[in-house]
Amino acid sequence: MRSKTPKVLHEICGRPMVLWPVHAALEAGAGKVVVVDSPLRALEEVLPAGVELAVQAQPDGTGGAVAAAMAKLGADLEPAGRPGAAVVVLSGDVPLISAESLGGLIEAHRRSGAAVTMASTILEDPSGYGRVVRDAGGAVERVVETKSDGDSTPAEREIREVNTGVFVFDSRALAQALPKLTTENAQGERYLPQVLDVLRADGASVVAHRVEDQRLVLGVNDRLGLAHVRKLAQEAIHERHMLAGVGVVDPATTVIDIDVQIGQDTVIEPFTTIKGNTQIGCDCTVRHSYLVDCVLEDGASVGPFAYVRPGTVLRQGAKAGTFVEIKNSDIGAGAKVPHLSYIGDADIGEGTNLGAATITANYDGRAKHRTTVGKRVRTGVDTTLLAPVTVGDDAYTGAGSVIGEDVPDGALGIARARQQNIDGYAERARKPS
C-alpha cells in the first residue's frame, strides 16, 4: 500500500477494511469473532464490542495467524454435545464477503461432511492469488502460493481458479493439522493452505465451494485494488438505497458511506458526499453538498454547496442553503439558513430565518460558547452573533449588526456605527495633494 497505515485499516466507504468481514461474520451469526493482529495491536481500537483480539507474536504467515486465533478461541471450540465447531477463517483484506455468502459456504461445508471447505472463484487475472490445483477427478489436491516462483510451477501459475482466503474448518481437524505446518517454502512462512495437504495426507476430505460472484472475494493488495473494491462497495450501497426508494440521481458522482441511513423519496443530487452515521429522513433533498455525522428530519433540504458537520440536526422542513456551513447545531422545524452563513454551536428556533452572511462567533480564543436564537426570528444580512448570546422569540436584528448582548422577545437589535455622508468628497479626492 506504500502507507504508514496498516493495510486493513484503510477505509472503504466509511468503514476500516478489516471491519467489513467482521460485520459479515457477525451478521452471519458467528458465536465468537477473533481478529488477529501484530504485537503493535493497531487494530484493537477499531474493533466492535464483543470482538476479541489475538496477537500473532511472530510474522510467520497465515498459518501462524490462525494458530493464534485458535488459542484465543479455546473452550469455545468444543460446545457441549457437539463433535467439533465450524471455524470460519476470513481475510482482513478480502472485504466484500457477505453474510449471505458465508451462510452458503457454511451450509455447503455441513452438507459435504468435509474436514475443510474452501471458497474459490475463477478470475480473469489471478495474479497474486494462490491457485487451486485439482486432481484428474476434479477433487481439490492442494493450493499453491505464487508470491515467489519457487512456490509454484509455470503450469500452476496458469490456473485461473484461486483460493479466496475464506475457509470453513472442522475445529478438531484444524487443531490437529496446524502443528504439522512447515516453513519449507520461498517465504519461510507457515502457509494456511498447507493445512489442506496435511488433511489430505491424513485421509480427510477437502472440498472447494466455488463462489460465482467474484466481487465478494476480491482481495486488496495495493491502492489500485483498494479503489476497485471501494467502487464495488459504493455501487452496492447505492443499489440498496435506490431499491428502498431513495433517488440517487447520478451514482457515479455520489459518495455514501456504509452506515448512512436515508428515508424513502429523498433525492440525492450529483456531487454529494454523505459520511459517517448520517441519518436522513423521508422527502429530503440534498444538492451538491458534504454531510458528516448529522441528522436531517423529514422534508429537510441541504445545498447546493453546503457543509453540514457532526452534531448538526435539521428538524422537519428546515433548510441549509447555498454556501452554508453548520456545526453542532439544532436548526428548528421550518427554520432557514439560506445562504453564505456559518452557524456553529447554536440552537435555532422553529420558523426562524437567518439572513445572508449570518455568523455565530462561537469561539473566543479559549472556549466554545453556544448561541440561542428563538422562534420566528429574522436576522438582517451580515449579522454576527457573539456567543454566548440569546435572541428572543419574534426578534429582529438590523443588517450589519454585531450582536453581543441578548435581544429580548419581539425586539429589534441593532449594533453598528451610524452612517455619515461627507458632501463634496469625490471632488476633493480628485484634487492633487
Amino acid at 26: L
DSSP conformation class of 97: -
Cα 403–319–303 angle (5° rounding)?
105
In this structure, are residues 380 and 355 in contact, taking their beta carbons and an 8 Å threshold?
yes
DSSP conformation class of 161: E
In 3D, which of 410, 411, 414 has the Cα closest to residue 401? 414
In 3D, which of 30, 39, 36 has the Cα closest to residue 18? 36
User: Which of these is catalytic: 10, 238, 241, 339?
Assistant: 339
In this structure, are residues 235 and 214 in contact, taking their beta carbons and an 8 Å threshold?
no
Is cis: bond before 388, omega within 30 of 0?
A: yes
23 is catalytic: no
In this structure, are residues 40 and 56 in contact, taking their beta carbons and an 8 Å threshold?
no
Lookup: cell for 419:
452612517
In 3D, which of 241, 318, 316 has the Cα closest to residue 272? 241
Question: What three-state secondary structure class fits 415?
Answer: coil
What are the strands, taking DSSP E only, across 319-358? 319-327, 330-331, 336-344, 346-348, 353-354
Is cis: bond before 79, omega within 30 of 0?
A: no
**Residues with catalytic function:** 339
